[in-house]
Structure 1
Amino acid sequence: MFKIVIVGGGAGGLELATRLGNKLGGTKRAHLGNGRKAEITLVDRNRTHLWKPLLHEVAAGSLDDGIDALSYRAHSTNHGFNFRLGELAGIDRDNKQIHLAKLLDNDGSQILPETSLDYDILVMALGSVSNDFNTKGVADNCIFLDSPQQAKRFHNCMLNKYLQLGVQETKQVKIAIVGAGATGVELSAELYNSLEQVSSYGFHEIKSTDLKVSLVEAGEKILPALPEKISSAVKRELVKLGVDVRTETMVTEATKEGLLTKDGELIEADLMVWAAGIKAPNFLKDIAGLETNRGNQLVVKDTLQTTRDDSIYALGDCASCALPGGGFVPPRAQSAHQMATMVGNNILATIANKPLSPYKYTDYGSLVSLSNYSTVGNLMGNLSKGSMKIEGRVARVVYMSLYRMHQVALHGYVRTSLLAFVQRVNKVLRPRLKLH
């Protein structure tokens, strides 16, 4: 039996498992020339999947992950692949096995022992984690929005701070966000939207001036990956909301009182979020002798196979894929989506003894959502000739379509349409903000 193991159930990994499961697994298993069947196994340390670009909405309470999260086990049953709850501990390339660490409960008791899985093809889709660049105090005092657990931790802390307003000496909730990329910018706007919502649910004493958000960026402008015109437009919108936007401000230390800058200033904060950069998980560094870069990413060829082992693929944020004209494929959701499609094509080609195809990254532009206030960005590639700036309702529709594309890859068009309908119904039936 041809065995395909995918480690990591993020956007790319789950889309790939779903596609291969639909084609090669489940009750409609496809026979491979010699009569064998393919077995696809997805491994993830979490039980549910949530599209990572939505984590800032979970943090602000605009989205309830309990409703929108997808169960890996239920999804695998419906789409012909296996799901294993576990965390990667090592790769044995000689025997083509991966080793999973023992699974422990919160009290330290063992749930599952250490185990191994055989593979013919291994796909690494482990995504990324926050990179604090070894900045002093960040690990102890800041929250990283790189997982649903961290997003929920921030949300609970935020609600507790709102409860203290007017009860204790607290006069203002101060939140500092380091890093003015998409995550930092979108969270800044979402926080002001959540403030408006929370004031209508019994927190009548809360006013717009009770929240102070500081967005701190070391570079010359916010959203450094976007054109200056878009960056400036977003900055103007954030300032209108009340965000204290600080560019060319380098943070050298995070303390319980706030952020210390290179100039010796203390930016006071009750809650601090670090969103200044990402890297692949540390344990990937030189794992099993595979080539990695300084950011722990697995270096891949244009077929997305790792440079030292053709039976191991890497995709998404944990893959370092060079662009023909220089530079590397950026760590974006659209990259993971495109890579998952190409890895799927190449795995099917391998099974059919056909030649592999090179991956060609297409940049469709970038969009930034400023919650209910605005959406801005630029379209590129096949969506427009050259680059075109869009904003407002049109930009919002395109922004939401990115998430719908992910849902279509997982559920198909009919089920995605039903999910979109249910989401609209929930906006009427359920509170506009998660309050627990």
Structure 2
Amino acid sequence: MIARLVLALGAEAKIDVVPGSAEYALPFTTLEHALKVESELKMLERGRFGKKSPPIQVAIVGLGYSGVELAATISERLKNTGTVKAINFQTTICPNAPPGNREAALKVLESQNIQLFLGYSVNCIREVYASEDSGSMVADAKEAGGGDKKLVLELQAAQRGLQSQVLEADLVLWTVGSQSQILRLQPPDAPYVIPLNGRGQVETEETLQVKGHPRTFAIGDSAALRDPSGKFLPANAQVAFQQADFAGWNLWAAINDRPLLPFRFQNLGEMMTLGRNDAAITANFIEGLTLEGPIGHAARKLVYCLRMPTDEHRVKVGISWFAKGAVDSLASLQTAVSNIIASS
């Protein structure tokens, strides 16, 4: 039997973009990254317990889908104990999102008093320490006398009419840029065996076969595929999900000497979560319709549940969501009771 190969390695965060970003910023593309962010937030919350503690400051670089969802979720979590500063190179958020989703997201960010720095790029990130005597920020820990550590982001104006900014933060999250993991397969100093574009993605035919290698397929973030207008398809789950169906069929067809199908992407719309009980969903097949708020949140969960591969998966996901909702409700009730007791 002739072997076939499918390249579906996904992408990894491109974190070493500016001085200090790889050292001081945290990416957010894997489960390990999410657990690391959760751990850092818990440490900050424990260290700032008490009414007189300074607010926690979180800076988020990049306001695409991941950055916006992070900003909304973290701001909701911190509430009155911290602030979120969100930085984006463009003068708008989610520039490639449907207008309805973008407007709904901007409304949520503004309602949560998230500080938006639009039209800025990060020049560098450095570590400083607060002097225990004067409260001033210095670069040397010894000179600070063991003061609190802070991160400083130097922002450069990317648009005319804006002034450079210097921001302080306790935690910096980096959601800008990604790179295909295909490059990890390439031996150092060896010629490329498979054709790659400038972004490190595999060049493919319409059938998802790698150009020059008909027994190899590439899908998802690993593949560079264009729509009929010549634009690259977005690197998101919806595209990869549909490519998987075509790749599966074409693998079967290749094995059984049947004609292969050219991939055709069907844009069904886009969704984003904007907090615990808030979301936005725009369906491409209903022009001008955007569901937002609690209704959007419920619709998003329903869509995700329906997209599960089997009924068993749908039941497990549904039970998990129901249990989490019950636990969150009990936690909110307990917090409310504690606040009443404390104020009486």
Shorter-chain TM-score: which interval? 0.7 to 0.9
The Cα of 1:420 is off from its aligned counterpart by 1.0
CA distance in 1, matches of 2:318, 2:277: 21
1:225 aligns with 2:84: no
1:177 aligns with 2:60: yes
| Percent of aligned pairs with the same amino acid | 22
Instruction: Number of aligned residue pairs: give it.
Output: 298
Aligned to 1:298: 202
Aligned partners of 1:145 and 1:275 also within 8 Å: yes
Aligned partners of 1:179 and 1:216 also within 8 Å: yes
CA distance in 2, matches of 1:287, 1:303: 25
| From 128, 137, 156, the counterpart of 1:262 | 156
Q: Which residues of structure 2 form unaligned runs of 5+?
A: 128-150, 158-163, 333-344
| From 221, 225, 228, the counterpart of 1:324 | 228
| From 309, 325, 329, the counterpart of 1:427 | 325
Aligned to 2:19: 136
- The secondary structure found in structure 1 opposite 2:276 is coil
The Cα of 1:259 is off from its aligned counterpart by 1.4
Q: Deviations over 1:119-164 (max 9, x none)?
A: x111111111122472221111100001111111111111000011
Q: Deviations over 1:276-332 (max 9, x none)?
A: 122212425688511111211111111011112111111111111111111011011
The Cα of 1:226 is off from its aligned counterpart by 1.7
1:346 aligns with 2:218: no
Aligned partners of 1:144 and 1:274 also within 8 Å: yes
CA distance in 2, matches of 1:144, 1:131: 8
CA distance in 2, matches of 1:217, 1:329: 22
The Cα of 1:404 is off from its aligned counterpart by 2.2
Aligned partners of 1:176 and 1:213 also within 8 Å: yes
Q: Deviations over 1:198-240 (max 9, x none)?
A: xxxxxxxxxx332110111110200111244542332121121
Q: Deviations over 1:348-388 (max 9, x none)?
A: 111221010000011111122111352223211xx42x453
| From 291, 306, 309, the counterpart of 1:390 | 291
1:311 aligns with 2:196: no
Aligned to 1:235: 106
CA distance in 1, matches of 2:101, 2:266: 20
Q: Which amino acid aligns with 2:68?
A: V
1:416 aligns with 2:314: yes
The Cα of 1:400 is off from its aligned counterpart by 1.9
Q: Which amino acid aligns with 2:195?
A: E
Aligned to 2:28: 145
Q: Which residues of structure 1 form unaligned runs of 5+?
A: 3-119, 196-207
- The secondary structure found in structure 1 opposite 2:120 is coil
CA distance in 1, matches of 2:196, 2:288: 33
1:211 aligns with 2:82: yes
Aligned to 1:369: 273
Aligned partners of 2:11 and 2:180 also within 8 Å: yes
Q: Which amino acid aligns with 1:144?
A: P
Q: Return the TM-score normalized by structure 2.
A: 0.79
Q: Which amino acid aligns with 2:301?
A: M
Aligned partners of 1:258 and 1:272 also within 8 Å: no
- The secondary structure found in structure 2 opposite 1:310 is strand
Q: Which amino acid aligns with 1:425?
A: A
| From 69, 72, 76, the counterpart of 1:186 | 69
Question: What RMSD in Å do the two structures reach over aligned CA positions?
Answer: 2.4
CA distance in 2, matches of 1:214, 1:226: 21
Q: Deviations over 1:152-180 (max 9, x none)?
A: 11111110000111469851110000010
CA distance in 1, matches of 2:66, 2:293: 19
For 1:64-213, what aligned pairs fall within 5 Å after superposition? 120-132=3-15, 134-166=17-49, 170-195=53-78, 208-213=79-84
Aligned partners of 2:281 and 2:299 also within 8 Å: no
Larger radius of gyration: 2
- The secondary structure found in structure 2 opposite 1:376 is strand
CA distance in 2, matches of 1:225, 1:235: 14
1:273 aligns with 2:173: yes
| From 185, 193, 199, the counterpart of 1:289 | 193
CA distance in 1, matches of 2:91, 2:166: 20
Aligned partners of 2:104 and 2:292 also within 8 Å: no
- The secondary structure found in structure 2 opposite 1:135 is coil
